[in-house]
Structure 1
Amino acid sequence: MRSTTNAYPKEQRLSAWSFALKRVSITLEAADEATLYGELIQFTSSNGIVFVRLLATAQEYTVDFRDEPGCFWLAVTLDAPSIARNATTSFTLDDGHMVCARSEMPMSLQFTGDHRVLLLKIPPRALDQRLKALLPEKPRHLSADSGPARLLSTVLRSLADMGNDVTDEELRPVELALPEFLLASLLNDAPARALGGAAGMRAALLERIFQTIEMRLSDPNLNYQQVAAEHGISPRYLQKLFESIDDSFGHYVKVRRLERCRLDLRSPLHVQKSISDILFQWGFNDSASFSRAFREQYGISPRDYRKMPAVDEADHGPDTLRRGRSTAKRAVSDEAAVAPVEELEIGEVDSDGAEANVIPAIGDEGTVRHHHLPVSPRTVHWGYFSSAIKPALMVRSGDFVTVETLTHHANDDPERMVEGDHGAESVYRWDETGRAIERRGAGPMSASEFGRGPGEGFGVHICTGPIAIQGAEPGDIIEVRILSLDPRRSGNPRFQGKSFGSNAATFWGFHYNDLLTEPKNREVITIYEVESGGERRPTAHAVYSYHWTPQTDPSGTVHERYDYPGVPVDPETIERNYDILQNVEIPIRPHFGVIALAPAHTEPVDTIPPSAFGGNMDNWRTGPGSSVFLPVQVSGGLLSLGDPHASQGDSELCGTAIECSMTALIQVIRHPAGELTGKLRDLDYPMIETETEWVIMGFSHPDYLKELGEDAQSEVYKRASIDAAMRDAFRKARRFLMTTKDLSEDETISLLSVGVDFGISQVANGNWGVHAIIRKELFTA
């Protein structure tokens, strides 16, 4: 997760930054609003350790995890000194020094200048008994001038320098080594009084015993009598030591062995080892007792745990697994549970389109929540909109949602954009046994007309959702605030840390019948590498291109043209041209091509033509910092997002943008029908608002499903016209200015001509688009 104040207008930055910090249990106490800047990057290890990196101007924070008992937190200051204090303690932290405490001990950090901080929240499951026994009773200052704390500070600084580029493989050694570094640092850097007396002697002795056990976990004959003898104490006293930490020797050893086995079951270094090899390596004598113990500890069998996609563990961790079944297929809220997946499963639309959509209530305690909606076959629909799709998530007005979205062009280069990505692989799965997702479009499931495949490709976009908004009813307006939008990184280790997208110049492009060079009836795919951040403005550059050649899909259908979504391209059938677009960099303009509410229509609706409900608007201004306003047509609204783009020019001339999978942070706001004033009064069409502009969307047919009758979904492609789209954009812009600014028609027409820019949104989607850009600076009041 990444949040930055730059995504907001200046007047909203303080409140937005405060909220971003609050989501990670940090309270902003003081900051200069005039100069405020903040960037927050959060990532989580497979063992549930949360890392938060802050980059900010002079500020004061309070770290407070009291609502998460049993956790331990640690902060390392980078690049600038700070003062750490609470009601009883105060000390200065120099660059690289650390402060740590139990979750019930909040503490403020005050920085007088620009700074970086790396904060770690370590859950109970990542704190083995060795560390729990030594956690300080008061916040501790760990100096990084020498000793183990210096090594720990160096490791954490390197991790902070990686920012959001860190991978699970890079986090793995850090999470494994962290308890050892902390133990050594706490012992080495503790003041004399902290380890003095009988309690201190017991703690030091326990630490030595823990180290002995760790070194001998693989010995199946390890017993407490041997360990007691090695440390010169009686077996009875050793048992008393373990009783002092509410444990026993036997249970402690079993849990440590299980944890070692669990880590090896997930490690790519041990993928070739059998489960039996792993359990015997860590001191278990037989597979039956090991399986029972593993299931008792984690609530899942070792075999099922090993098969679980890595994203499941990253989201939920082993303590969640103990509940008896994986909750990885649920949409997760930070502060409140949402309806379970059995109630939210996406349903195929009945032949008569009449499936009822019952939206579960989620309570009304008024708390703004944050949800995560990952991609999977259960959370996406491909190529169509419908009010009969069961919602994948329910939210309240004001809730935030992290939404993963996939491009429907990922199989143009499956090596770079599908392989190794568990979410993409699950959605794109298509082999001789069938598809993970059958329906790909609003056409007939029998593929009776063209034989392309279920849905026939009349509609192509992979859409995440729908998201139901509690209380939304026809007449309301839904505002979708896009706060951040980041390219999805390749899951293939060969392209680690990189992101890619595809631009397909295809038969539906505006250029197709106006080509100069041979062969004239050609479709060309260009693969781009997409930057996701850095000190300069991110750009994309072409990697290679190829001409589409006939592709045989896994079901045996030959596709002479690019006529069905998700067909995997066989690299052996294409010739790659790497000598293209040399010395050309395309500035990144990440945005959603598709933002839609469900249409009030009885049949599945093709995702390609946009309309009054939004949809495939393909306007690059729907990026971070913008809001998209959509009129509600059905109860719950049912918001879907997809067709993510890394960059696109006005017109989308060749038929596509740089189609690139992305993850967004959005906020969903419901504006009730009875409270629509100002810019929302009389709004019955999609509108985009940025910090400086209102963007009015016009189409050849503004509500084509109503205008064109029973055959609307085929007729709309035959009647696309820039003239008609321009006429619609003019009429809507005229109405907007007369309604919201109280101008006369004559005043409005003059202003439209001298101060408003009209542009071609797209000529690729059947229902062509023209937009009017009304600059806010035109109005002095």
Structure 2
Amino acid sequence: MRITTNVYPKEQRRDAWRFALKRLSLTLDDADEATLYGELIHFRSSTHIDFIRVTGTAQAWTIDFRDQPATYWLAMILDGSATMRDGGQELRLADGDIICGRGDSPVSIAFTGDNRSLIVQVPHSELSARLKTPISGPPRKIATDSGSARVFAGMLRSLADTLTDITTDQARPVELAFPEFLVTALLDNAPAKALGGAAGMRAALLERIFQTIEIRLSDPDLNYQQVAAEHGISPRYLQKLFESIDDSFGHYVKVRRLERCRLDLRSPLHVQKSISDILFEWGFNDSASFSRAFREQYGISPREYRKAPPQEQEAVELLRRGRPARKERAAKAEEAVEIEEVLEEQLDEQPADDIPQVPAYMGDTGTSRHHHLPATPETVHWGYLSKDLKPALRVRSGDFVTIETLTHHANDDPERMVEGDAGVESVYQWDHCGKTVERRGAGPMDASAFGRGPGEGFGVHICTGPIHVEGAMPGDLIEVRILDLKPRPSGNSRFAGKSFGSNAATYWGFHYNDLLTEPKNREVVTIYEVEATGGRLPTAHAVYSYRWTPQVDPSGVTHARYDYPGVPVNPESIERNYDILQNVEIPIRPHFGVIAVAPNHNGLVDSVPPASFGGNLDNWRTGPGARVFLPVQVPGALLSLGDPHASQGDSELCGTAIECSMTGLIQIVHHKGAGVMEQLKDVDYPLIETESEWVIMGFSHPNYLKELGPDAQSEVYKHSSIDAAMRDAFRKARRFLMTAKQLTEDEAISLLSVGVDFGVSQVVNGNFGVHAVIRKALFTS
């Protein structure tokens, strides 16, 4: 998740930055509003360790996890210098310095200039298995000039540099190493007072013994006599040390081995290993005793755990964190089922860890809620809009939504864009028995007329939603604030960390009947690799292209041309050309192609032609930082988003953009008709607002469902023209200037000619689009 102040007007940046920091338990204390810049990169690992990279100009903020006291935090200065203050001390911090403390120990950090830092919050539960005696005392600096702490600092810096690209799977080794390094660093740097005298020294010795055990867990012959000798103590004294924490050497080793096995069982990195391979690797001698021990520890067999969906594995993980000591387990056994049921209910409300989660737009943090809307067969509708759809989510005005959207072109290269991604696979599932998402379009379910499958392809976009907005009624406006948008990474381990998209030059493209070279009736698909993030401007570059060849879908229907997006392409039937667009990089402009409220129309509405309700706008300006205003047509608005693009030029000339699955963070704001601000009072069309522009959307037929009669959904494809779309954009822009800016008609017409840019949004969606770009800088007040 990435948030930057650059997407907000200058007057809003301080409030937006304060809000973004607050969501991550960082409180902005001071900053120069005139020069303020801030960027947050947030990554949460599968074990709920939060890594936060903060970049900014001179400012001061407080690390305050008092609302989450069962945590440790760590802060590393990556660039710049700072002063740390708490209730009783002041420390000077320079590049590479690390400080750490408990969650209930807030500190203030003031930076004198440009700076970059890494904040890590780790749940106490992730350290409790290793840090048996929590170290007390105020926040303190960890010396990083030698030993394991120096290696630890190097790992943290490398992690910070790659935080924008790392995936949950790639982070697993870090999850394993981080607690071990932190415990070692805490002990090596602990002052005598913090260790607590003789008792503290015994605890420190025990922690060093734990380190030895951790290193040798895979040795099946590991025994307490060997460990005692290695640390220069008697076996009896080692046993006493374990008794002091209500444990034994044998039980501790068994639990740590079980935990290592559990992590490997759920890791994609070990999916090819058998359960026997894993248990022997971690020092167990036979599968029967291992299975009994695993079930006793986690309440589930190893085989059941491995086959369980991620949500159930997570429930086992959370239950483990709260597991009582051995002496209490029998008394608590009856409570376990109730606890697990509660955890499952909580998990249903939790957002995924590897997607944008933290809103950064200034809002009412006391009332705004944050929802996660994944793309599943139950939460998407493919190829159509309808006022009769059951809401996939209900929100209030001001709520934030992390929303997953899938491209309908993923099967152009299923290896890169479908395989290994459980969510995409579930939506795209199609075999000879049928589809999980059977309706794919607004046409009749009978496939005999055109042979394109259920719905017959009258509408192609995979839309996530709809979202019911509480209190929204016809005459109101819905504002969709797009805060963040990033490509969905490939689920195939061969392409780990990479994202891909497809551009299909097809028969519906503007170019198709104007080709120069043979064969002229050709359709070409180009696969692009899309950078998700990076230090420089993210770009896309072509990987390969191929000409469409007849494809036989899983239902046995042959598709001679690209008539039905979603048909899986057989890689053996195409010839890939890798020698294309050499030395060409396309700056990515991520945006939603489809942003729509439900049309007030009986029956299903084809997702392709846009109109007054929004829909398939295909305007690249609907990316992060933009606000899209849509007039509500039915109660609840029923907002849907889809058709995500990595980049597109004005016109979308060949028929598509770089079609790439995306996950976005949006905020939905409801404006009652009677309370709409002056400049929006006359808006009955999709309006885009960015930091510097208003973008007025015009169409050949602005309300085609009413204009073209009962056959409107087919007639609109026959009657579209650039002239009509330009006329509509002109009329709407004139009306906007006369109502929102109180210009006379003569003033508006002059300004439209000398200061407003008209452009072609798209010429491929059945209802052509032209937009008018009105720069805010034209108005001096």
Shared fold, TM over 0.5: yes
What residue number does 1:154 align with?
Answer: 154
Correspondence 1:298-697 to 2 at 5 A: 298=298, 301-308=301-308, 318-319=317-318, 323-324=340-341, 330=348, 332=350, 366-697=366-697
Aligned 8 A contact 1:331 1:392 in 2: no
What residue number does 1:192 align with?
Answer: 192
Aligned equivalents of 1:301, 1:377: Cα separation in 2: 29
Report Cα offsets for 1:577-601 as digits up to 9, x if no partner: 2233333332322211111112223
Paired letter, 1:587: P
Partner secondary structure for residue 447 of structure 1: coil
What residue number does 2:335 align with?
Answer: none
Aligned 8 A contact 1:334 1:371 in 2: no
Correspondence 1:196-215 to 2 at 5 A: 197-211=197-211, 213-214=213-214
Report Cα offsets for 1:101-151 as digits up to 9, x if no partner: 111111122211111111111123322332242433322210111222111
Aligned 8 A contact 2:380 2:465 in 1: yes
Paired letter, 1:765: N
Aligned 8 A contact 1:261 1:278 in 2: yes
Aligned 8 A contact 2:687 2:696 in 1: yes
Gaps of at least 5 residues in structure 1 are 336-363
Aligned 8 A contact 2:137 2:194 in 1: no
What residue number does 1:722 align with?
Answer: 722
- Note the C-alpha offset of 1:194: 2.3
What residue number does 1:25 align with?
Answer: 25
1:48 and 1:246, CA in 2 relative to 1: closer, same or farther beyond 3 A? farther
Paired letter, 2:350: V
Report Cα offsets for 1:340-384 as digits up to 9, x if no partner: xxxxxxxxxxxxxxxxxxxxxxxx994223333333323322111
- Note the C-alpha offset of 1:254: 4.7
Aligned 8 A contact 2:164 2:533 in 1: no
Partner secondary structure for residue 483 of structure 1: strand
Report Cα offsets for 1:79-101 as digits up to 9, x if no partner: 22322221123322232121111
- Note the C-alpha offset of 1:210: 2.4
Partner secondary structure for residue 521 of structure 1: coil
Aligned equivalents of 1:25, 1:511: Cα separation in 2: 53
What residue number does 2:359 align with?
Answer: none
Report Cα offsets for 1:738-775 as digits up to 9, x if no partner: 21122222332333233222222111111111112222
Q: Does 1:121 align with 2:139?
A: no
Partner secondary structure for residue 491 of structure 1: coil
1:68 and 1:391, CA in 2 relative to 1: closer, same or farther beyond 3 A? farther
- Note the C-alpha offset of 1:311: 8.8
Aligned 8 A contact 1:134 1:203 in 2: no
Aligned 8 A contact 2:130 2:180 in 1: no
Partner secondary structure for residue 187 of structure 1: helix
Query: What is the aligned-residue RMSD (CA, Å)?
Result: 3.0
- Note the C-alpha offset of 1:203: 0.6
- Note the C-alpha offset of 1:389: 2.7
Instruction: Out of 379-388 and 491-500, give the one that drifted further.
Output: 491-500
Report Cα offsets for 1:706-729 as digits up to 9, x if no partner: 222332222222221222222222
Aligned equivalents of 1:191, 1:231: Cα separation in 2: 21
1:296 and 1:394, CA in 2 relative to 1: closer, same or farther beyond 3 A? farther
1:312 and 1:538, CA in 2 relative to 1: closer, same or farther beyond 3 A? farther
Paired letter, 2:507: F
Percent same amino acid at aligned positions?
72
Q: Does 1:99 align with 2:117?
A: no
1:531 and 1:230, CA in 2 relative to 1: closer, same or farther beyond 3 A? closer
Aligned equivalents of 2:398, 2:8: Cα separation in 1: 16
What residue number does 2:82 align with?
Answer: 82
Aligned 8 A contact 1:316 1:328 in 2: no
Paired letter, 1:46: S
1:217 and 1:582, CA in 2 relative to 1: closer, same or farther beyond 3 A? closer
1:718 and 1:59, CA in 2 relative to 1: closer, same or farther beyond 3 A? same
1:108 and 1:251, CA in 2 relative to 1: closer, same or farther beyond 3 A? farther
Partner secondary structure for residue 185 of structure 1: helix
Aligned 8 A contact 1:7 1:484 in 2: no
- Note the C-alpha offset of 1:276: 4.1
Gaps of at least 5 residues in structure 2 are 321-338, 354-363
Report Cα offsets for 1:637-682 as digits up to 9, x if no partner: 2221111112212111111111122222222111112201212102
Aligned equivalents of 1:308, 1:460: Cα separation in 2: 33
Instruction: Out of 250-259 and 740-749, give the one that drifted further.
Output: 250-259
- Note the C-alpha offset of 1:687: 0.4
Aligned equivalents of 2:424, 2:497: Cα separation in 1: 16
- Note the C-alpha offset of 1:244: 5.2
Partner secondary structure for residue 110 of structure 1: strand
Aligned equivalents of 2:292, 2:390: Cα separation in 1: 38
1:248 and 1:736, CA in 2 relative to 1: closer, same or farther beyond 3 A? farther
Paired letter, 2:340: R
Q: How many aligned residue pairs are there?
A: 752
- Note the C-alpha offset of 1:435: 2.3
Aligned 8 A contact 1:47 1:175 in 2: yes
Instruction: Out of 647-656 and 262-271, give the one that drifted further.
Output: 262-271
Partner secondary structure for residue 168 of structure 1: coil
Instruction: Out of 460-469 and 560-569, give the one that drifted further.
Output: 460-469
1:117 and 1:709, CA in 2 relative to 1: closer, same or farther beyond 3 A? same
Aligned 8 A contact 2:469 2:637 in 1: yes
Paired letter, 2:468: A
What residue number does 1:68 align with?
Answer: 68
Partner secondary structure for residue 466 of structure 1: strand
Instruction: Out of 605-614 and 662-671, give the one that drifted further.
Output: 662-671
Instruction: Out of 482-491 and 67-76, give the one that drifted further.
Output: 482-491
Aligned 8 A contact 1:490 1:498 in 2: yes
1:271 and 1:37, CA in 2 relative to 1: closer, same or farther beyond 3 A? same
1:386 and 1:329, CA in 2 relative to 1: closer, same or farther beyond 3 A? farther
Report Cα offsets for 1:463-512 as digits up to 9, x if no partner: 12222222222222111111222222333333333322211111111222
Paired letter, 1:166: I
Aligned equivalents of 2:446, 2:299: Cα separation in 1: 42
Report Cα offsets for 1:566-623 as digits up to 9, x if no partner: 1111121111222333333323222111111122233122111111111101111111
Instruction: Out of 216-225 and 613-622, give the one that drifted further.
Output: 216-225
What residue number does 2:333 align with?
Answer: none
Aligned 8 A contact 2:315 2:347 in 1: no
Question: Structure 2 length as normaliser, TM-score?
Answer: 0.89
Question: Structure 1 length as normaliser, TM-score?
Answer: 0.89
Aligned 8 A contact 2:429 2:435 in 1: yes
Paired letter, 1:202: R
Aligned 8 A contact 1:45 1:175 in 2: yes
Report Cα offsets for 1:437-461 as digits up to 9, x if no partner: 2221112223242221112111111
Paired letter, 2:114: D
1:333 and 1:407, CA in 2 relative to 1: closer, same or farther beyond 3 A? closer
1:445 and 1:755, CA in 2 relative to 1: closer, same or farther beyond 3 A? same
What residue number does 2:779 align with?
Answer: 779
Aligned 8 A contact 1:459 1:608 in 2: yes
Aligned equivalents of 1:310, 1:206: Cα separation in 2: 35
1:450 and 1:300, CA in 2 relative to 1: closer, same or farther beyond 3 A? farther
Paired letter, 1:416: R
Paired letter, 2:138: K
Aligned equivalents of 1:251, 1:75: Cα separation in 2: 34
